[in-house]
Each structure stands twice: as C-alpha cells, then as structure tokens.
Structure 1
Amino acid sequence: MARTHTTIKLIEFKGTTLPVVAVTLHSLQADALAEAASTLFGADPFFDGDAALLELSQIGDAPEADWRLVQEVFRTHGLNVFGVRGGSEELRRSAAAAGLPAYAAVARSPQTLAAEEIAPTPPPPSEAPIAAPPPRVRTGPRVSPTIFVDRPLRSGQQVYARGGDLVMLAIVNAGAEVIADGSIHIYAPLRGRALAGASGAEDARILCTSFAAELVSVAGLYRTFDAGLPAELAGKAVHIRLTEKTSDDPERLIIEVLRNN
C-alpha cells in the first residue's frame, strides 16, 4: 500500500478578541501599589489570570521603576501584565527593556466594551507587520449578561459578574464581596464590599437599599469605611458613581442618598 505523506502545520494565525483589563497607575512604587491592591482586592487572587495593560498617563516624570516588582504585585491578584500604554517616552523605554512593550489605544465610539480593545504600536518600516483582522464594528446596543443572586453571601464568599451587571436579592454580609464588570444593584443590606466597573467601565454604578459597606469601588476608585459610616449614609438607600472628569476637576467617587420624590 502506498504511504501517504501528511504535512503538519506547525504555526497557524487566527484572529481573536480577548478581554484586557486596563489598570491606570498613579504611582510606580511597588510597596505603595501592593498596599493599595490589597485594600482593594483582599489577600486572595481577585482575577483569573486575565491580561492587563498598565496605563501610565497619570505618572508624569517618574523615577525608574522596578517593573518586575510591579508585575508581581498584580500577578498576586491574578493579573498578567503584558505591556504599558501612555506615559513619557523614557518610561515606555524602560518598560520595554523589562519586556513590557508599549501599546496605543484604538479609537472607539462612546458606546464601548467594558474590556479595553488595544492595538500594538506600529513597527518600524523595516519590519514587515503581520496583517491583523479588521476590528469589530458594533451595530447595535451592547447586550451583556446579568447575574441574579437570591441567596445571602456569608463572610469569605464572592460573586463576580464577568462582562455584565450583578443583581443581589439577598444580604451581602460583612467579609463577603460582590464584583461586576458592569453595575451592581443590591436590594438588601450591603455590609461587605462592592466593586463595580471591575474592568474599567467608568459609567458603572452601585445602588443598594441599605448601606453599611466596608468598601465600595467604581472602575478602580474606592472608598473604605474603617472609621465607620457617615451618619447621613448609614442604613440608607444610596447611589454610588463617578463624577465626570474635566480638565479642572479630576474624577471622584461620590455616594449620595437615593430620593424617592
């Protein structure tokens, strides 16, 4: 019988879209970042090995960074940092020397995905780029999954609505954590931690009917209540959101009582 020779393809290129967490840094001091990340995410891994891009536009002229330690801070919480974006040319050069190439943002319409879509900085003309698939064009409103939870969360338990909103129909006890890439609605007391816009969606919000939280966060901006809750917020129905960022007024996290009239 004649032998059939089969050529095996060792490399194949296929277009794909992956979620990327954009992390805006205001410091490159590894110790300070580790403390802030622990306050925000706790001691256990928060993400599941997600890819992360460090946004350096808020750093300015910073001293040299130990990029290995910075990567380790986020690796501890389940994020794999693969590159940087923005910042000074010197900062991007030092990151590249540490194996973190610079990327440029893709221009997007106001109706954007929660996960950042990125494109690499174009290579020099001497390098022949590999053709990339055309970007996806959104032709209708975004439809994201909503997770409903109707059981109480005990201390140490966590619910994460990846890619969508979270609706809690039962109490979030102290030490428990609710997380969503979109908004969080809690129709019960919130006594633990609530983190909305976990992938960077600045239009995410948190609403709850009885406020007694340990920590709240929207798109990485957070507030803790170690010293106790303000009297005007304790036990009230509240609305938590980010203010609009302007050239004169930086983005702020605000908590306001919900009015029914």
Structure 2
Amino acid sequence: MAKPIEFKAGSLTAMSAVLREIDNVRLSDALQVMLGGMGEFFAGEATIIDVSQARNFPDKADWAGTLSLLRRYGLQPVALRGAPEHLHASARKAGLAILTEQAARLQAESDIASAPAAEPLPEPVSTAPAPQAAPMAAGTMVVDRTIRSGQQIYAKGSDLVILGAVSNGAEVIADGSIHCYGPLRGRALAGASGNKKARIYSSNFGPELIAVAGVYRTFEKGIPAQIAGKPAQALLRGEDDKQALVLEPIQLD
C-alpha cells in the first residue's frame, strides 16, 4: 500500500529579488520603470527575497505589501534571506520561510553540484581583427533547438547560446551573455545576476523585451528600423550610475 505522504531531498532553482531598500513605494516605482507595468512578466517564477544588500532596515516591514507587489509581476515569493532577526516574525506571518546563512550556503553548493558541465565556445576563424567581445561567464549552456512560446531557459552562472530561434512568448535568461543564432522574438534577459558587461547578440533581432543587468527595454512602438530583423547587439553604455541600454547593429560582412 502506498504511503499517504513521503519526504525526499531535492533542490529548488529560484529567482532572487535583491532589494537594496525595504520601501514598497520606491520598489513599485522601480518595477514600473524596469518592466513598464507589464503584469505577470515572470510567469509564476519561485522567488527568494534577498535583502542582504540593504543599507538600512526599518523597525517594521510591510512584507504582505511586498509580496503583493511582486506577485503583480508574476513572481511567487517563498523565502526571505538576509533580514535581521527583528523582521523575521512579520515575514513568517506573511508566509515567507527564513533562509539562514547555512541554508543559503547549502543551496548554493547544491546548485553548483547539480549544474551540468558546459563546453566553451570554439574560437571563431577569421582573417580580420576580431572586435572586443563581452567577457564570457564561467561555462556556457548551449541549446540546439527552438524555444517555443511559454518555455523558459535559464543559464545560471553562464552564457547562453541558442542555435535555434526564440519564439514570441518564450523567455531566455542568463547570468552571462545571450547569443541567439536564429530569430530572437521573445524576451531575453542577460546579466541576470548583475553582470553589467553582459550582452545580447542576435542574428535576427526582433524581441518583445530585453534586459541587461536589470536595465529593461520594451518595444511596444516597434524595433528601430536599422536593426529590425538584422544582426544586432544590446549592451549597457555610460557611467556606472547612469548606464543606458543601447542597441547596435553588427556588421557580419
């Protein structure tokens, strides 16, 4: 007879929402700017709220309001990391688990142990001087198929190379750069862990939304004519505190 309940060890890959301020008003404004008010952007992604980089902690925190705000964009907060002990009770009351430093370390070790080994990209053969490329993240995930609508690929701690297309409604995420050798039509988020040197490359540029290190750009008014359907790259330019996400054509001839 089958047991009515059983416990098995496992690991969960979750998005981290890194909050540098615990202020729901400022957080709401920032999300509006970053995501353009796009509801359900993350499509139910399990999320850890990480406040380890926050500079000031209030005496009380409205975690219920924070959860409501994140859920508006399709995130599903499940745990809290990095908060001082006086904020733990209210977080638990809001339904968040508390991740201790030991739990966070074990999760990181589990993610590293379970990550598949990836082969580096082959060096390109060219007689002309190669342009300086963005630094590669450690390892590379290669996907040799089209990513269909509703599917999501996340290259954790690495670059992502897609040998097929990214369809409308699909989402590709990488902690490093994203290289798409087919048409890029869905959403592409590079530098997801904060790598400001990450880039997005596409041989046929036409995404719904792109982001590099949390700086987003949408295309409700269409793709600029000089790069629409053509080879292009997206990258951050400017000073650290005033960086803008720019689009540039890639000359392949």
TM-score (normalised: structure 2): 0.60
Tell me by how many angstroms 1:222 deviates: 0.5
Tell me by how many angstroms 1:242 deviates: 1.7
8 Å contact from structure 1 (residues 170, 188) kept in 2: yes
How do 1:32-43 residues align onto structure 2 when only pairs under 5 Å count?
Answer: 32=29, 39=38, 42=41
Q: Distance in 1 between matches of 2:184 and 2:65?
A: 34
Identity of aligned residues (%): 37
Does residue 154 of structure 2 align to residue 160 of structure 1? yes
- Of 20-29 and 216-225, deviating more is 20-29
8 Å contact from structure 1 (residues 20, 53) kept in 2: no
Alpha-carbon displacement from aligned partner over 1:145-176 (angstroms, at most 9, x marks no partner): 42212222222122111221111111111111
Tell me by how many angstroms 1:98 deviates: 4.5
Tell me by how many angstroms 1:203 deviates: 2.1
Tell me by how many angstroms 1:79 deviates: 4.2
Indicate how the Cα distance of structure 1 residues 83 and 151 shifts in structure 2: closer, same or farther if over 3 A, else same: closer
**Equivalent AA in structure 2 for residue 207 of structure 1:** Y
- What is aligned with 2:126? none
Q: What is the root-mean-square deviation in Å for CA atoms of aligned residues?
A: 4.0
8 Å contact from structure 2 (residues 148, 170) kept in 1: yes
Indicate how the Cα distance of structure 1 residues 155 and 143 shifts in structure 2: closer, same or farther if over 3 A, else same: closer
- What is aligned with 2:80? 82
- What is aligned with 1:21? 16
Does residue 44 of structure 2 align to residue 45 of structure 1? yes
Higher share of residues assigned helix: 2
Q: Distance in 2 between matches of 1:243 and 1:143?
A: 19
Tell me by how many angstroms 1:32 deviates: 4.5
Does residue 246 of structure 2 align to residue 250 of structure 1? no
Tell me by how many angstroms 1:196 deviates: 0.9
8 Å contact from structure 1 (residues 153, 172) kept in 2: yes
Indicate how the Cα distance of structure 1 residues 191 and 144 shifts in structure 2: closer, same or farther if over 3 A, else same: same
Alpha-carbon displacement from aligned partner over 1:84-124 (angstroms, at most 9, x marks no partner): 68xxxxxx999678559xxxxxxxxxxxxxxxxx989xxxx
Tell me by how many angstroms 1:189 deviates: 1.0
- What is aligned with 2:127? none
Does residue 62 of structure 2 align to residue 66 of structure 1? yes
- What is aligned with 2:173? 179
**SS of equivalent to 2:242:** coil
Indicate how the Cα distance of structure 1 residues 68 and 199 shifts in structure 2: closer, same or farther if over 3 A, else same: same
Does residue 221 of structure 2 align to residue 227 of structure 1? yes
Q: Distance in 2 between matches of 1:245 and 1:95?
A: 35
Indicate how the Cα distance of structure 1 residues 69 and 254 shifts in structure 2: closer, same or farther if over 3 A, else same: same
**SS of equivalent to 2:65:** helix
- What is aligned with 2:206? 212
Tell me by how many angstroms 1:224 deviates: 0.2
Q: Distance in 1 between matches of 2:152 and 2:189?
A: 11
Structure 1: gaps spanning 5 or more residues: 1-17, 86-91, 101-117, 121-131, 133-140
**SS of equivalent to 2:24:** coil
**Equivalent AA in structure 2 for residue 77 of structure 1:** L
The match for 2:251 among 229, 237, 259 is 259
The match for 1:190 among 170, 179, 184 is 184
8 Å contact from structure 2 (residues 177, 191) kept in 1: yes
**SS of equivalent to 1:42:** coil
Q: Distance in 1 between matches of 2:136 and 2:187?
A: 27
Number of residue pairs matched? 196
Structure 2: gaps spanning 5 or more residues: 1-12, 93-99, 106-134
8 Å contact from structure 2 (residues 14, 47) kept in 1: yes
8 Å contact from structure 2 (residues 137, 159) kept in 1: no
Indicate how the Cα distance of structure 1 residues 51 and 236 shifts in structure 2: closer, same or farther if over 3 A, else same: same
How do 1:136-155 residues align onto structure 2 when only pairs under 5 Å count?
Answer: 144-155=138-149
**SS of equivalent to 2:233:** strand
TM-score (normalised: structure 1): 0.59
Does residue 234 of structure 2 align to residue 240 of structure 1? yes
8 Å contact from structure 1 (residues 211, 237) kept in 2: yes
**SS of equivalent to 2:67:** helix
